[in-house]
Amino acid sequence: MQILSMPQGDFSLQRYPVRPRETLRAWDAADEYLLQQLADEALPAKDSRVLIVNDNFGALSVALHPHQPTLISDSWLAHRATLNNLKENKLPPDGISLLDALSPPQGQFDLVLIRVPKSLAMLEDQLTRLRPHLHTESRILAAGMAKHIHTSTLKLFAQCLGTTTTSLARKKARLILTRFDPQLSPATDKYPSGYLLDSPLLDSPLSNSSLSNRPVSDSRGKESGGRANQQQYQVTNHAGVFSRDSLDIGTRFFLQHLPASLDEKHIIDLACGNGVVGLIAAERNPNARLTFVDESFMAVESARLNFNTAFGADTHKAKFQATDCLHGIAPNSADLILNNPPFHQQNVVGDFIARQMFRESKRVLRRGGDLLVVGNRHLGYHIMLKKLFGNCEVVASNKKFVILSARKA
């Protein structure tokens, strides 16, 4: 537990999920800069309605708790971190309204604080959704680390909201100051966006119910045989979803090696993104039950849209859940987990998320169940999996990616 000391008070804060011997803070210099600026300007004024967007671990929400802010975030982890940190500081959770990125807030706001996301698409979508909730006197302050604030970032604020300026850098952080222009006529929100996915491009040779009997590709990705499915899918993606404009090459390679004929089995698409992996798994295993999980609310909703478009909204064979890895999923309940692990949480890059996903997969798999993972060859996932499961097989590989299978004994 570390202490954030600001004019608003001293607050005990921690990241989520809570890890032993954590060295990373639950806030950064951009949070400090923003809170100091508010104190210097004596903001928020009494009875102001305050909106916070993209508070990573709740530092802003906790510090401004007396003003009963509304927090909008696409991250389930951010919501949970905020609640945890409120509890740590003995603050009532009902003092803050938590909304996901697709749920519109009610009414207009006098003060809007934005932590600038890495994705310009996400920022554009959020700023466009924000306009109806502003009035002529609304104060808009955004903050981020200077390396993440570019000319394109400032241009978006100006195009979507109004006249925009930026501060000097402080501790490598920078503020963005925007004056709302109600006469501005920005372009309509272009998200969600999408593309057509031709499943003939995803030919798979897999027809066996046992993963251990699958054919293994050589380094050029050639198989002994194959089948072509003539299905075409409309893939819809909300702004915060990874690879929203086209199918990324790692996922495409993964789709070519998904198993088929897993009748009456439970398949989990872990870190599902737009749900394409689970969707193709459902196509090849029509009697299987699917669960889509991701920590992004936009990702889970994109997966829901894509599955319902492909198979109908009245199907009872799919569940969709925003959560941290497999938190809340029953132990010994899955037969197959499909996983393309992300590299980062917020702005921190590392293999800690993959490690957590692999540990939780072992807990959730039934005995004899398989974890199927795709990743860059250099990441060394095979070492982690063999240590954890006691086994690991290469299902397929090419020059860049490897697909690995680990079975729960």
Helices (H) and strands (E) in the chain, counts: 10, 20
- The pLDDT of residue 199 is 66
Q: What is the pLDDT of residues 307-346, one digit of tens each?
A: 999 998 777 789 999 999 999 999 999 999 999 998 755 5
With respect to residue 186, please indicate whether it lies within any of the assigned structural domains. no
Secondary element (H or E) of residue 82: helix 76-88
With respect to residue 320, please indicate whether it lies within any of the assigned structural domains. yes
- The pLDDT of residue 52 is 98
With respect to residue 219, please indicate whether it lies within any of the assigned structural domains. yes
Q: What is the pLDDT of residues 32-76, one digit of tens each?
A: 999 999 999 999 999 999 999 999 999 999 999 999 999 999 999
Number of domains in the chain: 2
> Average pLDDT, whole number, for the chain?
90
With respect to residue 185, please indicate whether it lies within any of the assigned structural domains. no
Residue 142 shares a structural domain with residue 23: yes
Residue 77 shares a structural domain with residue 109: yes
Residue 303's Cβ-side half-sphere holds a number of Cα atoms within 13 Å equal to 32
Do 276 and 251 meet the contact criterion of CB atoms below 8 Å apart?
A: yes
How many CB atoms sit inside 10 A of residue 184's CB?
13
Residues 6+ apart with CB under 8 A from 108: 49, 133, 134, 135, 138
| Residues spanned by the domain of 244 | 193-407
Do 200 and 183 meet the contact criterion of CB atoms below 8 Å apart?
A: no
β-bridge mates for residue 310, sequence order? none
Q: Which two tokens stand for residue 278?
A: 């689970």
Residue 395 shares a structural domain with residue 366: yes
For residue 369, give the nearest of 218, 253, 266, 279 by alpha carbon. Answer: 266
CB-neighbour burial class of residue 129 (10 A; exposed 0-12, middle 13-18, buried 19+): buried
Q: Which of 163-167, 256-260, 341-345 has the lowest mean pLDDT?
A: 341-345
For residue 204, give the nearest of 218, 224, 232 by alpha carbon. Answer: 224
pTM over 0.75: yes
Task: Find out whether the peptide bond into 44 is cis, omega within 30 degrees of 0.
Answer: yes
Residue 205 shares a structural domain with residue 166: no
With respect to residue 184, please indicate whether it lies within any of the assigned structural domains. no
